[in-house]
């Protein structure tokens, strides 16, 4: 009778593409290759490299939510002006470079960290609302739930220094509804503290409301808000 002989477990074989993570060190910071890379690159430049990777991931995830040709181009323009360690400022935004987008754009100043003043209003917005509110404050021309909703979007963009994209449907008191998409982009003169906000806004149709309608008569009905996360994680979504 033959007695079976056990020579130990079989030698594992790795399929490189599928199992390569199994043979990598768990803590990348302790691997000799990473330490050599960090030393050669320098501590400061290594941190910038990490920020660039995080921004690239955040941009790709956030941009996929926008799904509007005009706002996608505006986001790409703003993102191209952003560096690894600083936000773009007003001086980085050249109207000539975004000439075909200007009609959809609103540029707002942040006054004392809490009031919103419209510095520039695109012609599409002027036509849509039937009035040019350049130089006016948000709390002077909008009231009620609609004002509160917009103020929260502006102030959250400034506080977090991150983009926000919102889709919304609002209803006029006379019974007419409209759908809109907004993209809020932070600007900072010093690259860090947000002092202006660039907003792009489009509508599902280009029919302006009757002249008798006023902004104060609009109120949010339903919609979604998508926020970029500074850790590059998934987009947080909520309802106004």
Q: What is the mean pLDDT of residues 4-24?
A: 46
Residues 178-202 pLDDT 10s: 778 899 999 999 998 999 999 999 9
Give a yes or no: residue 176 inside a domain: yes
Most confident range (mean pLDDT) of 21-25, 42-46, 96-100 is: 96-100
Write the CATH number for 136: 3.30.450.20
Q: Is the pLDDT of residue 64 over 60?
A: yes
Q: Is residue 70 very low, low, confident or very high in pLDDT (cuts 50, 70, 90)?
A: very high
Two tokens, residue 77: 């323009």
Residue-averaged pLDDT of the chain: 72
Number of domains the chain contains: 1
pTM attached to this predicted model: 0.67
Please check whether residue 166 is in contact with residue 153, taking contact to mean a CB–CB distance below 8 angstroms: yes
Give a yes or no: residue 35 inside a domain: no
Tell me, what's the pLDDT at 86? 85
CA 234/CA 227 separation, integer angstroms: 9
Give a yes or no: residue 4 inside a domain: no
Kind of pairing between the strands at 218-227 and 196-203:
unpaired
Give a yes or no: residue 25 inside a domain: no
For residue 175, the tally of other CB atoms under 10 A from its CB is 6
Domain carrying residue 98:
41-238
Residues 135-194 pLDDT 10s: 999 998 887 777 888 899 999 999 988 898 888 776 655 556 677 889 999 999 999 899
CA 128/CA 203 separation, integer angstroms: 9
Give a yes or no: residue 92 inside a domain: yes
Give a yes or no: residue 50 inside a domain: yes
Residues 213-236 pLDDT 10s: 344 434 444 456 666 654 433 333
| Alpha-carbon distances, residue 118 vs 115, 122, 197 (angstroms) | 10, 11, 10
Give the list of residues 6+ apart from residue 70 with CB closer than 8 angstroms, or none. Answer: 101, 104, 200, 202
Selection from 167, 145, 148 nearest residue 237 by Cα: 167
CA 202/CA 179 separation, integer angstroms: 9
Selection from 61, 99, 57, 58 nearest residue 77 by Cα: 99
Question: DSSP H helical segments within 67-130, as ranges?
Answer: 69-81, 123-129
| Three-class DSSP category at 214 | coil
Give a yes or no: residue 19 inside a domain: no
CA 204/CA 17 separation, integer angstroms: 46
Give the list of residues 6+ apart from residue 199 with CB closer than 8 angstroms, or none. Answer: 105, 106, 107, 108, 182, 183, 184, 185
Give a yes or no: residue 31 inside a domain: no
- Give the DSSP per-residue string, 133-153: -TT-BHHHH--HHHHHHHHHH
């Amino acid at each position: 009778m033959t007695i079976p002989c056990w020579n130990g477990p079989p030698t594992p074989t790795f399929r490189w593409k599928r199992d390569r993570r199994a043979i990598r060190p768990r803590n990348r910071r302790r691997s000799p290759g990473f330490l050599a890379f960090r030393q050669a690159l320098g501590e400061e430049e290594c941190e910038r490299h990490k920020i660039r990777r995080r921004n690239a991931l955040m941009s790709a995830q956030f941009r996929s939510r926008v799904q509007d040709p005009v706002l996608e181009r505006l986001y790409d323009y703003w993102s191209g002006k952003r560096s690894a360690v600083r936000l773009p400022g007003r001086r980085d935004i050249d109207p000539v470079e975004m000439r075909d987008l200007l009609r959809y754009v609103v540029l707002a100043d942040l006054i004392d960290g809490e009031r919103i003043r419209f510095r520039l209003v695109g012609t599409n917005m002027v036509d849509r609302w039937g009035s040019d509110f350049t130089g006016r404050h948000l709390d002077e021309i909008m009231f009620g739930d609609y004002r509160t909703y917009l103020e929260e979007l502006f102030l959250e963009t400034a506080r977090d220094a991150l983009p926000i994209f919102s889709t919304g449907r609002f209803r006029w008191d006379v019974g007419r509804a409209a759908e809109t998409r907004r993209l809020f982009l932070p600007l900072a003169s010093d690259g860090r503290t947000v002092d202006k906000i660039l907003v792009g806004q489009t509508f599902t149709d280009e029919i302006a409301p009757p002249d008798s309608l006023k902004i104060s008569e609009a109120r949010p009905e339903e919609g979604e808000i998508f926020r970029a996360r500074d850790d590059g994680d998934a987009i947080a979504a909520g309802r106004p």
